[in-house]
């Protein structure tokens, strides 16, 4: 890394930028539209696509594993192996196959969501108490009806909990993705690292944290709205 800060040439740099002080609000305001806003939008896109695709795959796999128990182990092992690969390594390793593209990043991000989503969906589906399943059978519900009307609603809290963890960790991993393709909030971090420009590093870092915390809060809200009975129970006890 550099010996001391090398100040980038921004024309007539404000003294704050020239001295590389901790945080220069003016610079952030001037560069919001060119640097931070696009990075933020890209970051949201990367995350939404990865979690959505990961969810579809993991959900399907969990349904299969719920029906045929033998299918659980292979998928669990596969997703666990993917999960242990360090992020920076996986992003780079995929480049020879999918190029320096968004696809590379998405494949890796999807891979990392699988373990969490698969486990939570499956555990949620299995959480239905035997009495409840018994009652469903007694009411003459078919297997499909039991799944749709009993098991899935009961699995919702676990599913949303999984989505929360997956979303938040995808936001984190997507910052690292910028090491491979210049997209998302990691991009200003990596580019500012080169010249140790504090304002840009800190702003991008704070934005990434705010994005993750906001996404987490939104999903909690969604969880409350989707499962009103859960909060009713919380109040009852």
Contact 67, 220 (CB under 8 A): no
Which residues between 201 and 220 bind another protein (CB under 8 A)?
201-202, 204-206, 208-209, 212-213, 215-216, 220
Among 18, 80, 139, 221, binds another protein (CB under 8 A): 80
Residue 135 Cβ vs another protein, minimum distance, rounded to whole Å: 25
Alpha-carbon dihedral 80, 82, 83, 88, rounded to 10 degrees: 170
For residue 134, the minimal CB distance to another protein (Å) is 25
Cα(115)–Cα(118) distance, rounded to whole angstroms? 5
Residues in the chain: 237
Interacting residue with another protein among 40, 51, 94, 116 (CB under 8 A): 116
Report the residue number, 4 or 33, with the smaller CB distance to another protein.
4
Which residue, 104 or 223, has its beta carbon nearer to another protein? Answer: 223
At which residue do the structure tokens 């939570």 appear?
Answer: 120
How far apart CA 154 and CA 102 sit, in angstroms, is 36
Residue 100 interacting with another protein (CB under 8 A) = no
The answer to whether 114 contacts another protein (rule: CB under 8 A) is no
53/201 with CB nearer another protein: 201
| Residue 232 interacting with another protein (CB under 8 A) | no
Q: Which residues between 2 and 61 bind another protein (CB under 8 A)?
A: 22-23
Rg (CA), the chain: 22
Residues whose CB is less than 8 angstroms from the CB of residue 182 and which lie 6 or more positions away in sequence, other chains included = 191
**From 168, 181, 183, 187, residue interacting with another protein (rule: CB under 8 A):** 168
Structure token pair of residue 208: 């990434």
Are the beta carbons of 157 and 230 closer than 8 angstroms?
yes
CB 191 within 8 A of CB 122: no
Inter-residue contact 101 to 91 (CB < 8 Å): no
Residues that bind another protein (CB under 8 A): 1, 22-23, 76, 80, 83-90, 92-93, 96, 115-116, 119-120, 123, 157-158, 161-162, 165, 168, 171-172, 175-176, 179, 185-186, 189-190, 193, 196, 198-199, 201-202, 204-206, 208-209, 212-213, 215-216, 220, 223
């Amino acid at each position: 890394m550099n010996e001391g800060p090398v100040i980038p040439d921004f024309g007539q740099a404000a003294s704050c930028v020239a001295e590389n002080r901790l945080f220069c609000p003016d610079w952030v305001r001037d560069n919001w539209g060119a640097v931070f806003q696009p990075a933020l939008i890209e970051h949201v896109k990367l995350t939404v696509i990865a979690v959505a695709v990961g969810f579809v795959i993991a959900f399907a796999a969990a349904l299969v594993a719920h029906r045929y128990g033998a299918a659980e182990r292979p998928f669990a092992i596969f997703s666990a192996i993917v999960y242990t690969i360090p992020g920076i390594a996986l992003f780079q390793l995929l480049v020879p196959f999918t190029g320096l593209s968004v696809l590379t990043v998405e494949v890796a991000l999807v891979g990392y969501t699988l373990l969490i989503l698969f486990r939570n969906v499956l555990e949620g589906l299995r959480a239905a108490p035997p009495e409840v399943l018994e009652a469903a059978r007694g009411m003459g519900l078919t297997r499909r009806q039991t799944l749709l009307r009993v098991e899935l609603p009961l699995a919702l809290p676990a599913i949303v909990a999984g989505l929360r963890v997956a979303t938040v960790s995808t936001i984190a991993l997507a910052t690292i993705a910028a090491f491979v393709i210049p997209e998302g909030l990691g991009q200003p971090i990596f580019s500012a690292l080169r010249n140790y420009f504090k304002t840009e590093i800190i702003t991008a870092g704070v934005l990434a944290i705010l994005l993750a915390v906001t996404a987490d809060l939104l999903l909690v809200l969604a969880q409350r709205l989707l499962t009103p009975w859960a909060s009713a129970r919380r109040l009852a006890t």
